[in-house]
Amino acid sequence: MSAFAGFVAKEVRHILRDWQTLLILIGMPVSQVLLFGYAVRSDVRGIRVAFVEPAPDAATASIRARFTADGETFAVQGTVTHVDQLESRFRDGSVRQAVIFPPMFAQRLGAGERVPVQVVTDGSDPNSGGIMEADALAILRRWEAERLVGQVADVPQALRPARIDIATRMRFNPTLESVNLFVPGLVAYVLVIVSALMTAITIVREKEMGTMEMLLVSPLRPAQVVIGKLAPYVVLGFLDVILVLAVSQVVFHVPLRGSPLLLLIESLLYILTALSMGILISTSANTERVATLAALAGLMLPTLLLSGFIFPIAALPAPLRIISNVVPARWFVVIARGIMLKGAGFAELWRETLILASITAVFLIAGIRRLAVRLG
Amino acid sequence: MTGLADAAVWASALTKRFASTLAVDHVDFRVEPGELFGFIGPDGAGKSTLFRLLVTLYTPDEGEARVLGLDPVKDLWRLRRKIGYMPGRFSLYPDLSVAENLSFYASVFGTTVERQMATIEPIYRQLAPFAGRRASALSGGMKQKLALCCALVHDPEILFLDEPTTGVDAVSRREFWDLLARLREGGLTIVVSTPYMDEASRCDRVALIQHGRILRIDTPDAVCAAYPLPLLGVRGVDRLGMLDAMRMHPHAESVWPFGASLHFTDRRAGADPRQLASELREWLAARNIEVEVTPIDPTIEDAFMLLMSQQERAEVAAP
């Protein structure tokens, strides 16, 4: 057996022997997908909406029926005559949205008048508030549009409708399923933990245990040590990518519109990026604790916050937006979303791929160079 | 003495500094091929630093060294294939079994345990019953034997063992030195360090080292024989009282507790030890301390204690 093969075999043994860690590394990606898919989704279901109708008529009933029909998005809470009656219900959260009609709604519409309809939404959580508002507006706009072309029964048609109807449509993710957006980011995040954190720890552990001294006086070259440490985690990371993609396909029907092969190759590149960052940390840190904290603060948080995974890059303040350029996850998220949601190919993504490859090369060379040939 | 080219190891003015401390201070020595050479000295004397300089882990600040004719600074990759090294710290993989540790270190040097069985057989025989056990579950003595086995598994031309018996029980220590004796008989050059002076007698030659300097290099017998002053062993009931009193003796060079007795070194070189013994007994009796005094042969420890205190006095006089 060659020195390198012997070294890789030893690394594999370390990983298999520590079955608790291994279980976490394999179980975590699956639980994260389920967690993000079910619990942390930002699309809002069952909006508790109430109606304020001083004088119910055919038109208000027709609109109310539209809300009731969309039972997945809305949970209609009833009708009152005055908005004040909803005040306490807004406060205790049993109503989160109110649609307020003026008196003589149908009559005034029929006269061709511009009639105001007010939508009041609980804005205590701005994210879901914005989404709830958009959902209500969508129903009102559609009703209005259909009324104008005479599709709404029992409601008098306007004489000469001459208004611009703004139709918005979300491309690639028309129903705004948040799980679709999360999965690419999640892959980036999971790989940072599995690859970067674990490699950082594994090299530092040799230093802490004193075995690094034996490795150093052996004929093993620094590059062999680094690559030998990487190899098993490349396999483990790749396994996690496949797990995350499989679970998100089977459970959440996340689309994969582009080439699966390209996605896997790009994932492999990103695994190498994460591993090279881990090695760079481990060559600088002298204790497992320092390595862990550096990986958490230096890699995991930027991956969560500056990659576009949770917060859009465009919404970041300018200095953070600049920093986000050196966060590899940012580029991987663009690549993965491109392939999965837009069906993009290499022709569209070569720039991001090149950036990712460059970052990897820099980290890997720096890591191998920093790995000392001697002690001290 | 033959030329430097024949030495298994030599060092000339070898020096290593850490910040302001001189860990190894202009050290000169040579180890002959096939020799079992011991560095004896207390913790912090610079033994581990010296070993790391020799096994290519540190670069010296001054001076130079050769191991098997190779420069540990320039020829590190060639040298690393030829030396076996056992660091002072336990350095095996606790989560791997005895057999796995061994086969890993064999593979790193491109060989296998089976191919090297002739070299490691005497040690491996003792380890074999525990082959499947994890290294973390071994006793201290067994761990050291495994570490020795790992350092030997690539059939090195020279072995560096840094404090291999530290923290190991007395029986295991003796067994370990028996193994080293067997390896030496096979022609292997062994350089070993230890803080236990009773182990010095197992070496062909020893270097006494303190504060990064070598105080003396000689065979254990010669080190003892060169003891320059009369040495008396004193036994009595009140050891503490004896110690205080004897330190006031006008001719006391040193008084050390040594096992159950006290060792008294008289400053009057060349005097008849019998005469001095009865003199000391009477001197103590006059102070109401009843003791038994006999002239004794100095041990390595006596020699070392005397050299250390002399060096310390010299350092105080001319810092």
Distance from CA of A211 to the nearest CA of B (A): 5
Nearest chain A residue to B18, by CA: A376
**CATH number of the domain located at residue range(s) B228-297 in this protein:** 3.30.70.920
Q: Please, are residues A222 and A330 in contact by the beta-carbon 8 Å criterion?
A: no
Nearest by CB to residue A374, choosing from B59, B95, B107, is B59
Question: Maximum distance among all alpha carbons in chain A?
Answer: 94
Q: What is the pLDDT of residue A264?
A: 93
Looking at the fold, whether A77 and A207 belong to one and the same domain comes out as no
Domain boundaries, chain B: 4-224, 228-297
Residues from chain B that touch A1, judged by Cβ atoms under 8 A, are 107, 110, 112
| Residue A155 within any structural domain of the chain | no
Instruction: Indicate whether A166 pLDDT > 50.
Output: no
Residues from chain A that touch B87, judged by Cβ atoms under 8 A, are 210, 213-214
Nearest chain A residue to B113, by CA: A1
Looking at the fold, whether A220 and A339 belong to one and the same domain comes out as yes
Q: Does B78 touch chain A (CB under 8 A)?
A: no
Block mean pLDDT (10 aa), chain B, length 319: 80 93 94 96 92 95 95 94 90 92 93 90 91 92 92 94 91 92 93 92 94 93 91 90 90 88 91 92 90 91 88 77
Range of the structural domain that residue A95 is part of = 47-148
Q: Does B166 touch chain A (CB under 8 A)?
A: no
The chain-wide mean pLDDT, for chain A, equals: 84
Instruction: Indicate whether A343 pLDDT > 90.
Output: no
Nearest Cα neighbor of A233 from A206, A265, A197, A263 is: A197
Instruction: Name the least confident of A21-30, A174-183, A191-200, A294-303.
Output: A174-183
Distance from CA of A362 to the nearest CA of B (A): 26
| Residue A160 within any structural domain of the chain | no
Task: Enumerate residues 211 to 230 of chain A having a beta carbon within 8 A of any beta carbon in chain B.
Answer: 211, 213-220
Looking at the fold, whether A23 and A140 belong to one and the same domain comes out as no
Within 10 angstroms of residue A98's Cβ, the number of other Cβ atoms is: 23
Q: Please, are residues B280 and B249 in contact by the beta-carbon 8 Å criterion?
A: yes
* Domains contained in chain A, number: 2
Distance from CA of B56 to the nearest CA of A (A): 7
Nearest Cα neighbor of A189 from A269, A244, A232, A226 is: A244
Instruction: Indicate whether A34 pLDDT > 80.
Output: yes
Q: Does B112 touch chain A (CB under 8 A)?
A: yes
Instruction: Indicate whether A368 pLDDT > 60.
Output: yes
| Residue A172 within any structural domain of the chain | no
Across the interface, whether the CB atoms of B107 and A218 are under 8 A apart is answered no
Residues from chain B that touch A215, judged by Cβ atoms under 8 A, are 108
Instruction: Name the least confident of A357-361, A362-366, B60-64, B157-161.
Output: A362-366
Across the interface, whether the CB atoms of A209 and B91 are under 8 A apart is answered yes
Looking at the fold, whether A35 and A63 belong to one and the same domain comes out as no
Q: Does B136 touch chain A (CB under 8 A)?
A: no
Looking at the fold, whether A73 and A140 belong to one and the same domain comes out as yes
First to last CA, chain B: 33
Domain over B4-224 is classified CATH 3.40.50.300: yes
Q: Which residues of A75-95 are buried (b: 16+ CB within 10 A; e: fewer)?
A: ebbeebeeeeebeebbeeeeb
| Residue A168 within any structural domain of the chain | no
Distance, in Å, from the CA atom of A324 to the CA atom of A318, rounded to the nearest integer, reads 10
H-type helices in B46-190, by residue range?
47-54, 76-82, 98-108, 117-127, 140-152, 170-185
Residues from chain A that touch B100, judged by Cβ atoms under 8 A, are 10, 13
Distance from CA of A311 to the nearest CA of B (A): 42
Across the interface, whether the CB atoms of A209 and B94 are under 8 A apart is answered yes
Distance from CA of A218 to the nearest CA of B (A): 6
DSSP state of A95: -
Looking at the fold, whether A23 and A73 belong to one and the same domain comes out as no
Instruction: Name the least confident of A159-163, A176-180, A312-316.
Output: A159-163
Across the interface, whether the CB atoms of B91 and A18 are under 8 A apart is answered no
Which is more confidently placed, A127 or A237?
A237
Distance, in Å, from the CA atom of B16 to the CA atom of B52, rounded to the nearest integer, reads 10
Angle at A261 between CA A259 and CA A262, to 5 degrees: 70
Nearest by CB to residue B90, choosing from A1, A14, A210, is A210
Q: What is the pLDDT of residue A155?
A: 52
ipTM surpassing 0.90:
no
CATH number at residue A120: 3.40.1710.10
Q: Report DSSP letters for B91-127, one per residue.
A: -S-TTSBHHHHHHHHHHHTT--TTTTHHHHHHHHHHH
Looking at the fold, whether A16 and A100 belong to one and the same domain comes out as no
Q: What is the pLDDT of residue B310?
A: 85
| Residue A156 within any structural domain of the chain | no
Distance from CA of B303 to the nearest CA of A (A): 34
Q: Report DSSP letters for A233-277, one per residue.
A: HHHHHHHHHHHHHHHHHHHH-----S-HHHHHHHHHHHHHHHHHH
Looking at the fold, whether A258 and A327 belong to one and the same domain comes out as yes
Across the interface, whether the CB atoms of B85 and A17 are under 8 A apart is answered no
| Residue A186 within any structural domain of the chain | yes
Q: Which residues of B145-164 are buried (b: 16+ CB within 10 A; e: fewer)?
A: bbbbbbbbbbbbbbbbbbbb
Looking at the fold, whether A23 and A80 belong to one and the same domain comes out as no
Per-residue pLDDT tens digits for A44-79: 778 899 999 888 888 888 889 988 888 888 889 888
